[in-house]
Structure 1
Amino acid sequence: MPDTPESAYRSLPSVDALLQSDEVADLVRNFSHDSVTMLARDVLGKARAKIKDDNESPSVDAMISEIVDRADRAWGAWPKQVVNATGVVLHTNLGRAPLSSVVAKAASDSASIYSDLEFDLDSGKRGSRNAHISNLLAQSSGAEAGIAVNNNASGVLLTLAAVVSADPAKTEVIVSRGEAVEIGGGFRVPDVMRQSGATLVEIGTTNRTYAKDYEAAITPRTAAILKVHPSNFVVEGFTHVPELADMVTVGKKHNVPVINDLGSGCLVDTRKYGLDQEPQVQDSVSDGAALTLFSGDKLLGGPQAGLIAGEKAWIDLVSKHPLARAVRIDKMTLSAIAATLVSYLKDAHEEEIPIWKFISTSESAIASRAEKWRVETGAGQVERARSAIGGGSLPGQTIPTSVLAIQPAGSVDSFAACLRKSPIAVVARIENDRVLLDPRTVMNDQDHAVIEAIKFAMDQDSR
């Protein structure tokens, strides 16, 4: 017979009893007594609510487990490590570009010591936190100077605000109607322009815009021409977009700067890897863009940042705007950006930068790893598939890969959930009612974690 509400309530342990259990006592030793007590009381409150609803009380062991789990989620290291077996190289939800060990060490070293962040060692006086990054951006892109801010969206906002505030009589910024886009997180170009104080002037049509459209829209109130790379979608068919060089010709004719928001921002020729050509930062600079804006954590393969490269006069204008301090980045990110750019200057991006390791790895090497997973677990079969670049870069572009495809006895959703609940969470993808694990995006030292997660999920699936 089910317990009566009275007996169920009486079966509940006291807060002190929960605190004295071995697992919770460990929490008390590591965290504050008051914080753990609050958790225990909350768990007991949920148990009382359950009794009220269905006359059943959770077991003491279940309550202890819940306290421990909640403490781990709330106070444990975060973000938690996961294995990206989705095959999406730049997975936005999983933190986009992982950093190389060299870059991570640079950030760690910067965090744990004093540094010359804003100090000139030669003169013994205050220095510029942007000078070193400016030099590296110049060397990497061919630009005269550069600046780093906290992400590309803030880079766009800062740049527009600086450019339109330079002359109060010039606030209009010309944008192709097909480039007044919205990208991830609700970032809309018209909204950002409004916040910056710029007046949007749309030209052309959604699918076709010409250089002459820009020239026809220029007035004495024009502050700049803005080109926006539609990084997360593709318009195909009856389309036309003018070359950046043609837009620059129009701009120079009327003394109007061209700002090029590349979005992803790539320093290498992606055609080498069987992909379409992604606009390169160096090309934007050589074509004459006054300012080129791009992300640090997409195809650059570094930390989240917004990078701006261009003519020194315009970089100086941007860096001196009041918003520059509001969107500046910390010393750890600056260190990581510097180390990332150095990898390109050494031409070592394929060896040192994880996303380019993933992209450049041969399909045969990937197939060998997938086969190793199959042999070690006895699960699934190795099949050819496609990996995506993701992260708003090279939309629709994929590269060949091999995956371990598993058809679980039970639900594919449940099997995928079990992979995520293993000691080191493994995130896979589901296609055609099967769970696919793609080695392309799995670090070489994570094979064991994948194998153990598959075994764990198979054990749960067989029950």
Structure 2
Amino acid sequence: MVDSDPRRSIPRTDRLLAMPEVIAAGEHLNQTTIKAIIAEVQSAARSGEIPVAEVTPTIVSRLGSRSASSLIPVLNATGILVHTNLGRAPLSPAATQAITEAAGYVDVEMDLDSGRRSKRGTGAKAALLRACPAAEDALVVNNGAAALLLAVTALRGSTSANVASANPGAERQCTGATPSEIIVSRGELIEIGAGFRLTDLMTTTGARLREVGTTNRTHLADYAEAIGPDTSCLLKVHTSNFRVEGFTASADVGQLRTLADEHDLPLIVDLGSGLFTPDPSLPDEPDIDTALRAGADLVIVSGDKLLGGPQAGLILGRTEAVQTVAKHPLARALRTDKLTLAALEATITHTANPIHDALHTDPVHLRERTETLAEAVGAAVVDHDGRVGGGGAPGVPLPGCAVELPEECAQALRLGDPAIVARVHQGRCLIDLRCVPESEDQRVAAAIGKVLTSNHLGDHA
């Protein structure tokens, strides 16, 4: 009996490797990658996902389009500025150029004048201090969680006198053991994306969390009553991804500073989103300058949120506090690389910033762009509120508009070229241009037109 199973005719690996197109792909891809792509396509043919006849052209196509990285650039049409699933803040042209220039050998830890070793990240640190005059010193680590972990670890056992307290003469009676309690309000024990809880992070240091107050109301007296010989620091965390409204109360940084001075304790403030100074567009979003002037020893923020820079954890504050953190052995394990330092410095020192531009976009111009797109694809314009995202300004709408398409368009747009990520909401696919560079508008229109035509959805848009 003749076996008619077409899978037996799947081309052998050695024959596929000998194809001219595959050999040519070896100029930019290594053999491990090429063989992996061939194996994936062969496996897809064996499982019936693609016809056997499509094995060779599929391999050629994938090798031709395969870049060194598997990450796919996308256009963010969700209206969410800091979209964690899309890499948070897009870098500015200046930051992108800085990364390219820093990709080779650079003087990241060398004084070119003397030829000797120098301190790491001095340029980024200087830029941070210029942008935030209330900070006496600064340190950059690899993300916000690392900054908090390092701060609570390094300041355990450090008295406020060691970190430039306004009341250096104050003393606490201590048991002799390293203080291990971090006092924090119950209303600030937050969980962020992917189930990550700040409480779990802090307890990995061996510290104990002393929760005070209630979810909606925590008073200064609650902190005062909890302070004891095992208290290591006071911690205030900005509830960056949710809001508690109604019958609420909390102690501000200034009040906590007074209490910390009375008991010779360091005060750490984790703000998260990274505004240097107040922004009228986000009147309730706390900023670094205000927190430091109110008395925080250390303020912790992320670099890839409202700051608009690369992933980084920024620690700013009093000199003694920052130096205590910087000298801790864990700081070496959490330090950032030269590319991040270059991008961060460029983000701070240059004016162009995609996050800032999206936040302060002209609503009239945004509507004009949206109406032009809607007319080009035969769709309707609807009101749509953008969001900061990434744990910034929770619940604060950014009034705008979007092009309304059938929900079925969303997947096709994500898989197209360019890949466009829209918002799917209440059975609709919404294209919000707030975070899309205006130079891409025509490509977006062409991509939508192609999807509507191929799916015969134009009459329903």
One fold, TM greater than 0.5? yes
Residues 1:60 and 2:59 aligned together: no
Structure 2 residue aligned with 1:365: 365
Q: Report the Cα offset of residue 143 of structure 1.
A: 1.0
Structure 2 residue aligned with 1:87: 79
Q: Distance in 2 between matches of 1:285 and 1:374?
A: 47
Structure 2 residue aligned with 1:282: 289
Structure 2 residue aligned with 1:159: 151
Q: Report the Cα offset of residue 12 of structure 1.
A: 3.5
Relative distance call for 1:207 and 1:9 in structure 2 (3 A) is closer
Say if 1:149 and 1:155, in contact at 8 Å, map to a contact too: yes
Q: Report the Cα offset of residue 145 of structure 1.
A: 0.3
Tell me the secondary structure at the aligned position of residue 134 of structure 1.
Answer: helix
Q: Report the Cα offset of residue 110 of structure 1.
A: 1.5
Q: Distance in 1 between matches of 2:38 and 2:313?
A: 44
Q: For 1:260-298, what per-residue CA distance to the aligned partner results, in whole angstroms no more than 9, with x for missing partners?
A: 00111212423x22x342101000110010000000011
Say if 2:78 and 2:422, in contact at 8 Å, map to a contact too: yes
Q: Report the Cα offset of residue 36 of structure 1.
A: 3.1
Of the three residues 157, 179, 184, the one matched with 1:175 is: 184
Q: For 1:47-74, what per-residue CA distance to the aligned partner results, in whole angstroms no more than 9, with x for missing partners?
A: 3344xxxxx982312x234434655787
Q: Distance in 1 between matches of 2:93 and 2:258?
A: 43
Q: Distance in 2 between matches of 1:75 and 1:104?
A: 18
User: Superposed, which structure 2 residues align to 1:194-343 within 5 Å?
Assistant: 194-270=203-279, 272-273=280-281, 275-343=282-350
Structure with the bigger percentage of helix: 1
Structure 2 residue aligned with 1:53: none
Say if 2:142 and 2:335, in contact at 8 Å, map to a contact too: yes
Residues 1:102 and 2:111 aligned together: no
1:307 is matched by which residue type in structure 2?
L
Structure 2 residue aligned with 1:127: 118
Of the three residues 45, 48, 71, the one matched with 1:47 is: 45
Relative distance call for 1:396 and 1:5 in structure 2 (3 A) is farther
2:388 is matched by which residue type in structure 1?
I
Relative distance call for 1:18 and 1:102 in structure 2 (3 A) is same
Q: For 1:172-216, what per-residue CA distance to the aligned partner results, in whole angstroms no more than 9, with x for missing partners?
A: 211111112211233322212211222211111111101111111
Q: For 1:434-455, what per-residue CA distance to the aligned partner results, in whole angstroms no more than 9, with x for missing partners?
A: 2211111101221122112112
Tell me the secondary structure at the aligned position of residue 299 of structure 2.
Answer: strand
1:447 is matched by which residue type in structure 2?
D
Relative distance call for 1:276 and 1:149 in structure 2 (3 A) is same
Structure 2 residue aligned with 1:143: 135
Q: Distance in 2 between matches of 1:297 and 1:29?
A: 35
Tell me the secondary structure at the aligned position of residue 213 of structure 1.
Answer: helix
1:292 is matched by which residue type in structure 2?
V
Relative distance call for 1:223 and 1:284 in structure 2 (3 A) is same
In structure 1, stretches of 5+ residues that fail to align are 51-55
Q: Distance in 1 between matches of 2:375 and 2:397?
A: 27
Q: Distance in 1 between matches of 2:96 and 2:32?
A: 35
1:157 is matched by which residue type in structure 2?
L
Relative distance call for 1:74 and 1:180 in structure 2 (3 A) is farther
Q: How many residues align?
A: 439
Relative distance call for 1:39 and 1:356 in structure 2 (3 A) is closer
User: Superposed, which structure 2 residues align to 1:415-454 within 5 Å?
Assistant: 415-454=409-448
Q: Report the Cα offset of residue 251 of structure 1.
A: 0.5
Q: For 1:59-96, what per-residue CA distance to the aligned partner results, in whole angstroms no more than 9, with x for missing partners?
A: 312x2344346557875434221101111111111111
1:60 is matched by which residue type in structure 2?
A
Say if 1:133 and 1:146, in contact at 8 Å, map to a contact too: no
Q: Distance in 2 between matches of 1:389 and 1:230?
A: 14
Q: TM-score, normalised by structure 1?
A: 0.88
Tell me the secondary structure at the aligned position of residue 207 of structure 1.
Answer: coil
Relative distance call for 1:9 and 1:316 in structure 2 (3 A) is closer
2:195 is matched by which residue type in structure 1?
G
Deviates more, 1:328-337 or 1:415-424: 415-424
Q: Report the Cα offset of residue 394 of structure 1.
A: 0.6
Say if 1:151 and 1:296, in contact at 8 Å, map to a contact too: yes
Q: Distance in 1 between matches of 2:223 and 2:450?
A: 60
Say if 1:276 and 1:394, in contact at 8 Å, map to a contact too: no
Say if 1:418 and 1:460, in contact at 8 Å, map to a contact too: no
Say if 1:419 and 1:456, in contact at 8 Å, map to a contact too: no
Q: TM-score, normalised by structure 2?
A: 0.88
Tell me the secondary structure at the aligned position of residue 6 of structure 1.
Answer: coil
Q: Distance in 1 between matches of 2:347 and 2:50?
A: 55
Q: Distance in 1 between matches of 2:381 and 2:20?
A: 45
Q: Report the Cα offset of residue 35 of structure 1.
A: 4.7
Relative distance call for 1:321 and 1:243 in structure 2 (3 A) is same
Say if 1:88 and 1:388, in contact at 8 Å, map to a contact too: yes
Structure 1 residue aligned with 2:375: 375
Relative distance call for 1:9 and 1:182 in structure 2 (3 A) is closer
1:125 is matched by which residue type in structure 2?
R
Say if 1:164 and 1:171, in contact at 8 Å, map to a contact too: yes
1:420 is matched by which residue type in structure 2?
R
Structure 2 residue aligned with 1:399: 398
Say if 1:264 and 1:298, in contact at 8 Å, map to a contact too: yes
Structure 2 residue aligned with 1:386: 385
Q: Distance in 1 between matches of 2:191 and 2:391?
A: 11
Q: Distance in 1 between matches of 2:255 and 2:456?
A: 63
Q: Distance in 2 between matches of 1:234 and 1:70?
A: 46
1:209 is matched by which residue type in structure 2?
T
Q: Distance in 1 between matches of 2:58 and 2:157?
A: 55
Q: Distance in 2 between matches of 1:253 and 1:198?
A: 22
Structure 1 residue aligned with 2:4: 6
Structure 1 residue aligned with 2:353: 353
Say if 2:29 and 2:68, in contact at 8 Å, map to a contact too: no
Deviates more, 1:70-79 or 1:149-158: 70-79
Q: Distance in 2 between matches of 1:249 and 1:20?
A: 75
Relative distance call for 1:383 and 1:278 in structure 2 (3 A) is same
Say if 1:143 and 1:285, in contact at 8 Å, map to a contact too: yes
Q: Distance in 2 between matches of 1:40 and 1:208?
A: 60
